[in-house]
Amino acid sequence: MVLNNYRENVRGYLEAMVRPLAKVGLTPNAVTVIGLLLSLLAAYLFYLGEARLAALTLLIGSLVDALDGTLARLTGKTSRFGAFLDSTLDRISDGAILFGMALGSLVDWRAAFLTFMGGYLVSYERCRAELAGSGKLAVGIAERAERLLILMAFSFAGPDYVRYGVYIVGVLAWVTAVQRFYVAYQRLK
């Protein structure tokens, strides 16, 4: 939620970055898939224990992932399927990153699993509550962007610190899930 408050401040920068992509004919959905591929590469690098290189790859992948919506708006190619694809591939990316960390023994698999569950629940609650008529449910202390930044920061610190990032992200994801549940309850009761 915190980073979403700054989205308007960086809109001009994002548009400048996507103009060349639009000129070469890259579609928003292709950019979404490229973002996923970079996240999968980051997951593999975590598996190899290359936390800093994985964090750099994840940073680039996150930047690419932030461009698809801007490209869609700039080229007039927004679609419900594009939003669905983006959300679906984000869930795959989140799971793969935590899976790579666990497989690389950078964090205990149980902590990775609970963190993934919390993050998944945050996304699910928003989707389900909005479908039920809650209105936009972009509330909570740590949405996906904040969670990824925390994971990247601790990964840049080195392999020995990755688990602390996962623990923090896990707690924040579950706090966000509780916050969303409460707000949805208030709006839908």
Q: Which residues are catalytic?
A: 90
Question: Could you give the angle at the alpha carbon of 90 between the alpha carbons of 120 and 99, nearest 5°?
Answer: 70
DSSP summary character for residue 19:
H
Query: What is the CA 33 to chain-centroid distance, rounded?
Result: 14
Provide CB contacts within 8 A for 162, sequence distance 6+: 46, 51, 101, 106, 107, 151, 154, 155
Give whole-number Cα distances, 91 to 73, 76, 146, 179, in Å: 22, 25, 15, 20
**How many residues make up the chain in this entry?**
189
Let me know: does 159 contact 49? Beta carbons within 8 Å.
yes
User: How far apart (Å, rounded) are the C-alpha atoms in residues 80 and 72?
Assistant: 11
CA dihedral 51, 38, 139, 5 (to 10 degrees): 100
